[in-house]
Each structure stands twice: as structure tokens, then as C-alpha cells.
Amino acid sequence: LLISLSPTMASLAANMKCITVGSSVARVPRRTALRARSAASLRGVRIASPIIRQAGVTSRRAQRLTVRANADAADPYAVLEVLPTTPSDRVMAAYNKLTRTAKADGDDAALAKYEAAYNSILMMDMKKRMSGQNLSQETSDLKYADKRNLIQEYAPWRPRYTLAEKKDLMINGIMFAVLWTWSIFHPDPRVSPMTLGTFAFFFRILFKLHKLFPSPENRENPEKAKQDQEKFVRAAGLCFGFLTVGVISVAFVPTFLAQITHTALPAWILTKQDLLINLVSTGLLTVCACFLR
């Protein structure tokens, strides 16, 4: 039986082998085609990916540059041409200078831009103060904001702290040294160093006010004469006020204290009273020209 069935089984095996071989041969071109397509697609992706990445980087860079440009354009410090570390009085001086120029030119758009930038700076400083940040660099205007309205109401012409520029500090220091040397080593009763120092520091303070609050360049502008007059009166008031303080502190305060304490004044205070008045008054005028306005 096995011998009789072996040819049939052999023929079936041969047919199955032929079918398998035929199917494998038939499948080879399909697999090759798929592999070829995948390879071509991968090559296309490899070729296109640098372009896509470059385009993506370029677009992101452009977006960053656009955002940075918009930030610079909207930066209130850049609008007022100051730095974020600039003191509040310098920021206010820059704001006043730009707004005066805009008013003189009749540029309402620029005036609105400067006002918005200044208000934005004030709000940012106030938010930092409210959140407890940057308290070491807190400006005096914000630190005493609750007392400011009361002080402005009763003392609008009070002296305010404003540090002069380095060049002006050197000039004021040289003038102070010359006047003190003149008072100590070459006293001249005909010309008082205090008188000469008063006139000299008056013009120094007036020059400082002109730099901090420049007047409109147009002479026909009615605001120019008014502002120049206010600066002149303020400079004269500062000089006269500090001169009065110097004279009173030397001529009257020691005598008053001696009467209260029932003690005698030293002899050198009475004999060198004119010299002391010159030195103290000159020193106070120097302090005013360097640190106040």
C-alpha cells in the first residue's frame, strides 16, 4: 500500500513545491517594489528634512527678533532714553525734557508716548515696591509716597536731592578749595570770600537747573521766559537760604547755647567769627550746588 501510494504523494509534494516556489517568485517583485518605494521615500525625507529644519529655525528666529523688536519699541526706558538703573530724578528730568520738546514742536503723538512711558515706569516701580522686590534700590519718591502729598502741599519749594554730574562735582570742589584757601591764608577785609562764593555758586546752581530742566529753544515761546524766571528765582532762593543758615549757625546759635547753658564762649569763636562764617557758608553753598536743586 505504501509502495502504491508513494508516486501519488511524490506528485503532490512536487506540485506543492512548485506552488511555493511560484508564489515566492511572484512575491519577490512586490517586496522589492515596496523596499524601493520605502527607500525612495526615506531618501526624500532625508533630503527634505534639512530644508524643513532650516525653515523652522529661520521662522523661530524671525519670531524671536520680531518679539524683541516689539519689546524694544514698547520699552518705556528706551522711549525716555534712560536705563532701568537710572535714578528717579534723572528719569523725571529726561521726561520733562522730552515733553517740553514735544510741546514746542506740537507733536501730540510723541507727547502721548512719553506720558505713557513715564506712567508705565512709575507703575512698575510701584508694583516692585508692593511685592517687596528691589527694596534696596527703592527710590525716595516711592519710599515716601504716603508723605509726598503733604510735603508738596506745605513746602513745594523745598530743596530736593539731585546729585550733580561728575564734571560739575569737580568744578564745585575746586571752587570750594579756592575759597577756603583764600579765607584761611589770605584774608582780605575789602572783599569777602563769602560774597564772591555766593555769586559763583548762584550761577553754578542756575546752570544745574538749566541742565535738568531745559527751556524751549524757541525764544518766542511764552513758556521760555516763565521757566527761566522760575529757575532764576529758585537759584537765588537756594543761595540766600543756605547763606542765611550759615550766618545764623555761626553768629547766633553759639551765643544762644551759651545763654541757655550759662557758660562762656571760647575766645576763638569770638575772634574768628568772620572766618567761621565764610567757611561755613561756603561749605553749605558747595553742598547745595553738588547735591540739591
Output DSSP code: residue 292: B
Residues in CB range of 88: below 8 A, 6 or more apart: 125, 139, 140, 141, 142
pTM score of the predicted model:
0.53
Confidence of residue 235 (pLDDT cuts 50, 70, 90): very high
Cell of 8: 501519488
In the chain, count H helices and then E strands: 12, 0
- 180 pLDDT exceeds 60? yes
pLDDT tens column, 67-124: 344 444 468 999 998 888 888 888 888 898 888 888 888 888 888 999 999 999 888 8
Q: CA-to-CA distance for 224 and 228, rounded, in angstroms?
A: 6
Q: CA-to-CA distance for 247 and 273, rounded, in angstroms?
A: 10
69 alpha carbon, distance to own chain's centre: 19
Instruction: Name the residue among 292, 254, 285 with its Cα closest to residue 192.
Output: 285
Q: CA-to-CA distance for 205 and 202, rounded, in angstroms?
A: 5
Q: CA-to-CA distance for 271 and 248, rounded, in angstroms?
A: 17
**CA angle 238–171–204, rounded 5-degree value:** 30
Q: Which residue has the higher pLDDT, 267 or 152?
A: 267
**CA angle 69–71–75, rounded 5-degree value:** 120
Output DSSP code: residue 215: P
**CA angle 76–80–84, rounded 5-degree value:** 60
Write the single-letter amino acid at 264. Answer: A
